[in-house]
Amino acid sequence: MVSLTIIRYKKRYIPFAFFAMATFRLPLWLNKNISFYKLMGCGKNGTFDKTPDLQQWAILTLGNEQSVVDKTQKEILNTLYGGFIAGWLGLFGVKTITYLLDPIEGHGLWDNKKVFGELPMKSDYEGKIVILTRATIRLSKLKSFWKNVDSIASQMANAKGFITSYGIGEIPWVKQATVSIWESKEDMKNFAYKMHSHAEVIKKTRQEKWYSEDMFVRFKIKEIAGKL
């Protein structure tokens, strides 16, 4: 099971948000229920973005099956990430939204690993879907990447079937990811492959080899808890 929690701090607590990104590594590493984790910052516009949103941060983990039904925010965070992280976030009165996800399709690597296991390229699932698109951008291709991506990102919010998205990343400008949520797989495909400008950018990424590593994974939503 994959969990993604988006965390939003009040402005006055931004310094503690930075500190948390270093402090949370140890309890996540020691947590026996978690086999993979990432602590990430967020962009301002809900997708690949050069401008960070210093109030918003993300935790992504791969771990044992859990449920967050009828639990409080603190209970959810404790169940997924342990008492230290739950207590820290409770102390600063953050807002959170948590998605529990089941990976169903995809390809690519994260830190040279197939972290979500051996996934098929396609499945029969057609319902509401979450898309993770991530990449490590070659330093020599940063200018080309950002020149082309900005215009596409602004069009996604107006696409049919689009619900919401989050821009997340481990390293600003270089290691970037977008998590987008769609009403159906068909809506997502219409945006990704039938919109000419977006299809052209996808083509460029391959021809010009923008990425040293990339990943594309689709998920079913199991549960959602919280609200930003």
Boundary-marking domain end, from 102, 119, 141:
102
Q: Has residue 227 been placed in a domain?
A: no
Asked if 58 and 138 sit in the same domain, the reply is no
Q: What is the pLDDT of residues 118-128, one digit of tens each?
A: 999 999 999 99
Domain that holds residue 183: 104-219
Number of domains in the chain: 2
* Of 43-52, 134-143, 159-168, 172-181, the least confident: 43-52
Asked if 155 and 54 sit in the same domain, the reply is no
Residue appearing with tokens 């460029």: 204
CA neighbor of 174 nearest in space, from 203, 199, 145, 149: 145
Asked if 95 and 132 sit in the same domain, the reply is no
∠ Cα 167 172 178 (to 5°): 20
- CATH of residue 87's domain is 3.30.70.100
Asked if 48 and 150 sit in the same domain, the reply is no
Q: Has residue 228 been placed in a domain?
A: no
User: What's the whole-number mean pLDDT along residues 28-57?
Assistant: 90
Query: What is the distance in angstroms between the CA of the first residue and the CA of the last residue of the chain?
Result: 22
Asked if 113 and 94 sit in the same domain, the reply is no
Boundary-marking domain end, from 102, 129, 150:
102
In DSSP notation, 92-118 reads: TT-EEEEEEEEEEEEEE-BTTB-TT-S
Residue 67 has pLDDT above 70, yes or no: yes
Boundary-marking domain end, from 102, 124, 142:
102
106 forms bridges with which residues in the sheet?
217
User: What's the whole-number mean pLDDT along residues 71-86?
Assistant: 94
Residue 196 has pLDDT above 70, yes or no: no
Asked if 40 and 127 sit in the same domain, the reply is no
Residue 48 has pLDDT above 80, yes or no: no
Asked if 24 and 87 sit in the same domain, the reply is yes
